[in-house]
Chain A
Amino acid sequence: MARTNLAEAPPGSLPKSAGLRPSRLRPGVVAAAVVVLLLAVAAGLLIGPVHLGPGRVLASLADRLPFVHLRSGLSPTDDAILWELRAPRVVLAGLVGATLAMSGASYQGVFRNPLADPYLLGVAAGAGLGATIAAVYLPAAAAGAVGILPAAAFVGGLVAAMLTYVLGRSGGPARSAGSLILAGVAVASLFTAAQTFLQQAHVQTLRQVYSWILGTLGTASWAQVRLILPYVAVSAFALLLHRRLLDVMGVGEEEARALGINPARVRATIVVAATLGTAAAVSVSGLIGFVGIIVPHTVRLIAGTSYRLIVPLSILYGAAFLILADIVARTAAAPEEIPIGVITALIGAPFFLVVLRSSSRSFR
């Protein structure tokens, strides 16, 4: 037995022998993730169906800094493309990717289920129904660049999640995690059925929501970024604060209670925070799948299973992932767009196989 001399260790730290430290977010790991994100952003600004020239893009970027005046050599059209179309798209992709990834990670922690994704509680189905209702009954209002569609989708997502929560609690506190998931399946089926019914009855609205349902960032604008930023920020803040508690939830309800926390309340808080962020993201981007599973699992493979690492790293890598996926979506078949949900699915399906094969361990 190795006797370590505690008296010699500096106060506030465990002796530096390997493995004796609890999982902490080390600066090096964060820096690596930030670098990846910055590279993704740079790629997102430089690459696109329209060739802008890296030098000119960088000059234009520098010109935007205060006190810096540079002639970028971009024509007004190219400048508009860069700053009105591409830049907001990159930022939106980052926000949506970060939100979906951190929500997925949080749900996986709170439900102790490696396949939990941000749409587990019916948020996706609710948002789809909300969007369809807006398109059918308020079509004129839904037409603008930031029309009523995102708001309706947001409200729809929240309503579905609340309904799931209310139904799920009826299983009794002892079974609430399992009942929540089942309730989520039921609510999602119900809302999807309602949405399909409405779409069949009003075939002409199908066109308007079709793209949205597939998931798209093709109409990203700064207005949309401003719209969702507050919700995403609040959601991220709340989830980051709770990451230690996500680890505690890992031992199950009963033992978590014995350790002095209220698992039902922790779960409720995390679910509300994650749902808020997801509903906001979905309202502008439509239903982009797989991000909430691919990114947290990849982070686990890289950095370990403590949620104190997974939540913040999921935010950074989730943003980078979706930015990169969006680059592929708008460039691979240029000048055509590939729906981004297709790209994430193409990466997601083999990813699942890799996860299955490389680990016999389950992720909690």
Chain B
Amino acid sequence: MNAVLETPAGLAVRVRGVSVAYDGVPALRSVDLTVAPGGWVCLLGANGAGKTTLLHTIGGLVSLAEGDVSLGESAVASLGRRGVARLVARVPQRPDVPPAMTVVDYVLLGRTPHIPYLGVEGPSDLRAVAAVLERLELTELAGRRLETLSGGELQRAVVAVALAQEAPVLLLDEPTAALDVGHQLQVLELIDELRRERSLTVVSAMHDLALAGQFADELVLLSDGRVAAAGSPRSVLTQDNIERHYGATVRIVEDGDGRVLVLPSRRRSSPR
């Protein structure tokens, strides 16, 4: 659609035997993960299972105790910070948004990996920003301060920054956490559209199992830093898996279109 934006075709993400520890406490233990170019893998797991750490690992933001990560042909360790930033874009869980910054300035930050260290943005950067704003329907809001945006608009702005980076790999940490159900679907549909348009490789971490099951190609369930289950949504979202690794009782429902829906269900317990 936009010939102006030049995103390289999708890259494969390969995580091999990665272990990460924070202050001696292991966060990931020998994790393997492969994401095909243009694919969408969603990480699942209880709080503290290691989802965010794994995302940080792919983004080159943590040091590895062992193992390696590669993006396409290149090992993350061999790329500089800028190199990684050109290949991987993040949508963080709780973005630290400068409240008084305007939308257009904020989205322009996404161009940082492409602008020389002491330089200023060039015409291609401005075109990329304009294209992204248009795609995410933020053009009318471009001059507004971030603090004046609604939750959904702000989320779109945060996604816009990541898209402006024109990176082939997109990492999303709880992209729907603060949104109502309408906006949740809107954002995820948008991601899906974009990934198909540009062959983005998407890795997301989500709590919402029902949404994860409907949008991702593959699910990876982490537990205590290890991969407990990986595969198609049907194979991972089983009552057994969820009870064991989340400690919750659920009902699995398969609808006619082959989608797997996870419904939390209360134990029938003591009378009120």
Contacts and interface: CB of A to CB of B under 8 A. Distances in A.
A21 B165 CA distance: 18
A22 B133 contact: no
Interface string B216-254: 000000000000000000000000000000000000000
A247 B82 CA distance: 17
Contact of A260 (B112, B118, B143): B112
A270 to B, nearest CB: 12
A69 B192 CA distance: 76
A9 B4 CA distance: 13
Nearest to B114: A260
Contacts of A332: none
A245 B134 CA distance: 25
Interface in A1-24: 1-4, 6, 9, 11-15, 17-23
B113 interface: yes
Contacts of A3: 134
A251 B97 CA distance: 6
B9 interface: no
B256 interface: no
Q: For this complex, into which size category does the number of interface residues on chain A fall?
A: 35 or more
Nearest to B59: A258
> Chain B contact residues (Cβ within 8 angstroms of A): what range?
35 or more
B144 interface: yes
A20 B143 contact: yes
Given A14-B129, A260-B81, A255 B96 contact: yes
A244 B120 contact: yes
A241 interface: yes
A255 B85 CA distance: 10
Given A4-B139, A250-B98, A260 B84 contact: yes
Interface of A: 1-4, 6, 9, 11-15, 17-23, 241-242, 244-245, 247-248, 250-252, 254-255, 257-262, 300, 304-306, 361-364
17 contacts: A1-B140, A4-B130, A6-B130, A14-B126, A17-B139, A22-B121, A245-B117, A248-B112, A251-B96, A257-B81, A258-B89, A259-B110, A260-B82, A260-B86, A261-B81, A305-B101, A364-B100
